[in-house]
Protein backbone atom coordinates (compact mmCIF):
# COMPACT_ATOMS: atom_id res chain seq x y z
CA UNK A 1 0.00 0.00 0.00
CA UNK A 2 1.39 3.40 -0.95
CA UNK A 3 1.33 6.39 1.37
CA UNK A 4 -1.48 7.94 -0.69
CA UNK A 5 -3.55 4.76 -0.39
CA UNK A 6 -2.95 4.57 3.31
CA UNK A 7 -4.05 8.16 3.65
CA UNK A 8 -7.27 7.50 1.78
CA UNK A 9 -8.07 4.42 3.84
CA UNK A 10 -7.35 6.25 7.10
CA UNK A 11 -9.40 9.27 6.01
CA UNK A 12 -12.37 7.10 4.99
CA UNK A 13 -12.34 5.12 8.22
CA UNK A 14 -11.99 8.35 10.19
CA UNK A 15 -14.96 9.92 8.44
CA UNK A 16 -17.05 6.76 8.95
CA UNK A 17 -16.17 6.64 12.64
CA UNK A 18 -16.92 10.33 13.07
CA UNK A 19 -20.26 10.18 11.27
CA UNK A 20 -21.31 7.07 13.20
CA UNK A 21 -20.33 8.71 16.49
CA UNK A 22 -22.33 11.80 15.57
CA UNK A 23 -25.53 9.95 14.73
CA UNK A 24 -25.29 7.54 17.66
CA UNK A 25 -26.87 9.65 20.44
CA UNK A 26 -29.48 11.19 18.14
CA UNK A 27 -30.21 7.85 16.47
CA UNK A 28 -30.65 5.93 19.71
CA UNK A 29 -32.78 8.71 21.22
CA UNK A 30 -34.99 8.74 18.12
CA UNK A 31 -35.13 4.93 18.12
CA UNK A 32 -36.32 5.04 21.73
CA UNK A 33 -38.99 7.64 20.91
CA UNK A 34 -40.21 5.50 18.02
CA UNK A 35 -40.18 2.30 20.05
CA UNK A 36 -41.65 3.54 23.31
CA UNK A 37 -43.74 6.66 22.77
CA UNK A 38 -46.86 7.44 20.84
CA UNK A 39 -46.85 10.90 19.41
CA UNK A 40 -48.37 12.96 16.65
CA UNK A 41 -46.35 12.95 13.47
CA UNK A 42 -44.54 9.73 14.37
CA UNK A 43 -45.38 8.10 11.04
CA UNK A 44 -44.15 11.17 9.21
CA UNK A 45 -40.81 11.18 11.03
CA UNK A 46 -40.45 7.43 10.44
CA UNK A 47 -40.95 7.91 6.72
CA UNK A 48 -38.63 10.89 6.57
CA UNK A 49 -35.83 9.03 8.36
CA UNK A 50 -36.17 6.08 5.99
CA UNK A 51 -36.03 8.21 2.85
CA UNK A 52 -32.22 8.05 2.31
CA UNK A 53 -32.57 4.26 2.11
CA UNK A 54 -34.80 4.40 -0.94
CA UNK A 55 -33.92 7.69 -2.64
CA UNK A 56 -31.09 7.61 -5.17
CA UNK A 57 -28.05 8.73 -3.12
CA UNK A 58 -27.31 11.50 -5.62
CA UNK A 59 -30.73 12.98 -4.88
CA UNK A 60 -29.99 12.99 -1.15
CA UNK A 61 -26.61 14.50 -1.98
CA UNK A 62 -28.16 17.21 -4.10
CA UNK A 63 -30.62 18.13 -1.34
CA UNK A 64 -27.74 18.36 1.13
CA UNK A 65 -25.76 20.47 -1.35
CA UNK A 66 -28.63 22.92 -1.67
CA UNK A 67 -29.22 23.06 2.07
CA UNK A 68 -25.62 23.35 3.18
CA UNK A 69 -24.15 25.35 0.28
CA UNK A 70 -23.04 28.83 1.25
CA UNK A 71 -26.23 30.18 -0.30
CA UNK A 72 -28.42 27.42 1.14
CA UNK A 73 -30.48 28.13 4.27
CA UNK A 74 -28.38 26.04 6.65
CA UNK A 75 -25.03 26.67 5.00
CA UNK A 76 -25.60 30.42 4.93
CA UNK A 77 -26.42 30.48 8.62
CA UNK A 78 -23.39 28.34 9.53
CA UNK A 79 -21.13 30.58 7.48
CA UNK A 80 -22.41 33.85 8.92
CA UNK A 81 -22.53 32.60 12.52
CA UNK A 82 -19.48 30.33 12.72
CA UNK A 83 -17.52 31.26 9.58
CA UNK A 84 -17.09 27.84 8.13
CA UNK A 85 -18.07 26.09 4.95
CA UNK A 86 -19.57 22.65 4.81
CA UNK A 87 -19.78 21.67 1.17
CA UNK A 88 -16.63 20.41 -0.54
CA UNK A 89 -14.84 19.99 2.81
CA UNK A 90 -14.37 17.00 5.11
CA UNK A 91 -17.45 18.23 6.99
CA UNK A 92 -19.55 17.49 3.94
CA UNK A 93 -18.13 13.96 3.81
CA UNK A 94 -19.18 13.40 7.43
CA UNK A 95 -22.55 14.94 6.73
CA UNK A 96 -23.20 12.71 3.72
CA UNK A 97 -22.08 9.57 5.51
CA UNK A 98 -24.16 10.45 8.58
CA UNK A 99 -27.35 11.10 6.64
CA UNK A 100 -26.98 7.98 4.54
CA UNK A 101 -26.30 5.62 7.44
CA UNK A 102 -28.75 7.20 9.91
CA UNK A 103 -31.79 5.09 8.90
CA UNK A 104 -29.87 1.84 9.34
CA UNK A 105 -28.89 2.77 12.89
CA UNK A 106 -32.36 3.99 13.82
CA UNK A 107 -34.13 0.93 12.41
CA UNK A 108 -31.86 -1.60 14.02
CA UNK A 109 -31.78 0.21 17.36
CA UNK A 110 -35.53 0.64 17.30
CA UNK A 111 -36.26 -3.04 16.90
CA UNK A 112 -33.66 -3.83 19.57
CA UNK A 113 -35.43 -1.49 22.01
CA UNK A 114 -38.84 -2.86 21.06
CA UNK A 115 -37.65 -6.32 21.99
CA UNK A 116 -36.95 -5.25 25.56
CA UNK A 117 -39.89 -6.37 27.68
CA UNK A 118 -41.69 -3.17 28.79
CA UNK A 119 -42.68 -4.94 32.02
CA UNK A 120 -39.03 -4.77 33.11
CA UNK A 121 -39.06 -1.00 32.67
CA UNK A 122 -42.35 -0.75 34.54
CA UNK A 123 -40.98 -2.73 37.46
CA UNK A 124 -37.89 -0.54 37.56
CA UNK A 125 -40.23 2.45 37.92
CA UNK A 126 -42.11 0.81 40.79
CA UNK A 127 -38.70 0.33 42.42
CA UNK A 128 -38.21 4.08 42.36
CA UNK A 129 -36.18 4.54 39.17
CA UNK A 130 -36.68 7.68 37.08
CA UNK A 131 -36.79 7.62 33.29
CA UNK A 132 -33.04 8.18 32.80
CA UNK A 133 -32.12 5.44 35.23
CA UNK A 134 -34.63 3.08 33.60
CA UNK A 135 -33.09 3.79 30.21
CA UNK A 136 -29.46 3.45 31.23
CA UNK A 137 -29.82 0.48 33.59
CA UNK A 138 -32.56 -1.55 31.93
CA UNK A 139 -33.40 -0.58 28.35
CA UNK A 140 -29.91 0.18 27.08
CA UNK A 141 -28.10 -2.86 28.54
CA UNK A 142 -30.83 -5.19 27.26
CA UNK A 143 -30.86 -3.61 23.79
CA UNK A 144 -27.09 -3.31 23.71
CA UNK A 145 -26.39 -6.05 21.18
CA UNK A 146 -28.98 -4.82 18.74
CA UNK A 147 -27.75 -1.26 19.03
CA UNK A 148 -24.16 -2.42 18.53
CA UNK A 149 -25.26 -4.31 15.44
CA UNK A 150 -26.89 -1.09 14.23
CA UNK A 151 -23.67 0.83 14.83
CA UNK A 152 -21.66 -1.70 12.83
CA UNK A 153 -24.20 -1.62 10.03
CA UNK A 154 -24.22 2.18 9.93
CA UNK A 155 -20.42 2.23 9.98
CA UNK A 156 -20.25 -0.26 7.09
CA UNK A 157 -22.75 1.77 5.09
CA UNK A 158 -20.68 4.92 5.73
CA UNK A 159 -17.49 3.22 4.52
CA UNK A 160 -18.97 2.50 1.13
CA UNK A 161 -20.98 5.68 0.59
CA UNK A 162 -20.52 7.20 -2.85
CA UNK A 163 -23.46 9.03 -4.42
CA UNK A 164 -24.27 11.56 -1.74
CA UNK A 165 -20.62 12.13 -0.91
CA UNK A 166 -19.63 13.00 -4.47
CA UNK A 167 -22.52 15.46 -4.76
CA UNK A 168 -21.95 17.37 -1.56
CA UNK A 169 -18.22 16.90 -0.95
CA UNK A 170 -16.90 16.28 -4.44
CA UNK A 171 -13.73 14.34 -5.02
CA UNK A 172 -10.90 16.68 -4.01
CA UNK A 173 -7.67 14.68 -3.61
CA UNK A 174 -6.33 14.91 -0.09
CA UNK A 175 -9.39 16.84 1.09
CA UNK A 176 -12.60 14.90 0.44
CA UNK A 177 -11.54 11.81 -1.49
CA UNK A 178 -12.78 8.58 0.10
CA UNK A 179 -12.22 4.96 -0.89
CA UNK A 180 -15.22 4.76 -3.16
CA UNK A 181 -14.79 8.15 -4.83
CA UNK A 182 -11.12 7.33 -5.41
CA UNK A 183 -11.92 3.96 -6.96
CA UNK A 184 -14.36 5.71 -9.29
CA UNK A 185 -11.75 8.31 -10.18
CA UNK A 186 -9.01 5.71 -10.83
CA UNK A 187 -11.26 3.65 -13.10
CA UNK A 188 -12.26 6.82 -14.98
CA UNK A 189 -8.64 7.56 -15.79
CA UNK A 190 -7.83 3.93 -16.60
CA UNK A 191 -5.67 3.16 -13.52
CA UNK A 192 -7.44 -0.16 -12.98
CA UNK A 193 -4.61 -1.91 -11.14
CA UNK A 194 -4.45 0.82 -8.50
CA UNK A 195 -8.22 0.69 -8.22
CA UNK A 196 -8.07 -3.04 -7.51
CA UNK A 197 -5.91 -2.53 -4.44
CA UNK A 198 -8.53 -0.20 -3.01
CA UNK A 199 -11.32 -2.60 -4.03
CA UNK A 200 -9.55 -5.30 -2.04
CA UNK A 201 -9.35 -3.05 1.01
CA UNK A 202 -13.03 -2.08 0.69
CA UNK A 203 -13.98 -5.71 0.41
CA UNK A 204 -12.02 -6.62 3.52
CA UNK A 205 -13.53 -3.80 5.58
CA UNK A 206 -17.06 -4.54 4.40
CA UNK A 207 -16.65 -8.24 5.02
CA UNK A 208 -15.41 -7.68 8.56
CA UNK A 209 -18.24 -5.26 9.33
CA UNK A 210 -21.03 -7.46 7.99
CA UNK A 211 -19.59 -10.53 9.69
CA UNK A 212 -19.44 -8.68 13.01
CA UNK A 213 -22.98 -7.42 12.50
CA UNK A 214 -24.33 -10.91 11.87
CA UNK A 215 -22.51 -12.31 14.88
CA UNK A 216 -23.93 -9.60 17.11
CA UNK A 217 -27.46 -10.21 15.82
CA UNK A 218 -27.10 -13.94 16.36
CA UNK A 219 -25.79 -13.62 19.90
CA UNK A 220 -28.52 -11.08 20.59
CA UNK A 221 -31.14 -13.72 19.85
CA UNK A 222 -29.45 -16.29 22.10
In the complex, the residues that contact another protein under the rule CB under 8 A are 117, 119-120, 122-130, 137-138, 141-142
Q: Which is nearer to another protein, 59 or 142 (CB)?
A: 142
Name the 3-class secondary structure at 209.
helix
- Min separation Cβ 143 and another protein, Å: 10
> Between 86 and 124, whose beta carbon lies closer to another protein?
124
194: region left, alpha or beta (phi > 0 left; psi from -120 to 50 alpha): alpha
Q: Which is nearer to another protein, 15 or 116 (CB)?
A: 116
Please identify, using beta-carbon distances, which residue of 46 and 115 lies nearer to another protein.
115
The CB-of-127 to another protein minimum distance in angstroms stands at: 3
Task: Using DSSP, state whether 91 is helix, strand or coil.
Answer: helix
The least distance separating another protein from the CB of residue 153, rounded to whole angstroms, comes to 23
**Contact status, residue 91 vs residue 82, Cβ threshold 8 Å:** no
List of residues 6+ apart from 149 with CB closer than 8 A: 108, 112, 213, 216, 217, 220
Instruction: Evaluate whether 181 touches 204 at the Cβ level (below 8 Å).
Output: no
Of 78 and 129, CB closest to another protein: 129
Q: How far is the CB of 148 from another protein (least distance, A)?
A: 14
The residue count of the chain comes to 222
In degrees and rounded to multiples of 5, residue 173 shows phi and psi of -55, 135
Q: How far is the CB of 142 from another protein (least distance, A)?
A: 6
Amino acid sequence: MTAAERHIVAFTVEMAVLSTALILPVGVALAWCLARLRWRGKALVETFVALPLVLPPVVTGLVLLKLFGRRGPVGHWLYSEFHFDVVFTWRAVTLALAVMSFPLLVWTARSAIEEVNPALEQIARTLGAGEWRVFFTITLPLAKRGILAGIVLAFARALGEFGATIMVAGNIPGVTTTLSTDIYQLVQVGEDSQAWTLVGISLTLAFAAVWLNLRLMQRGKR
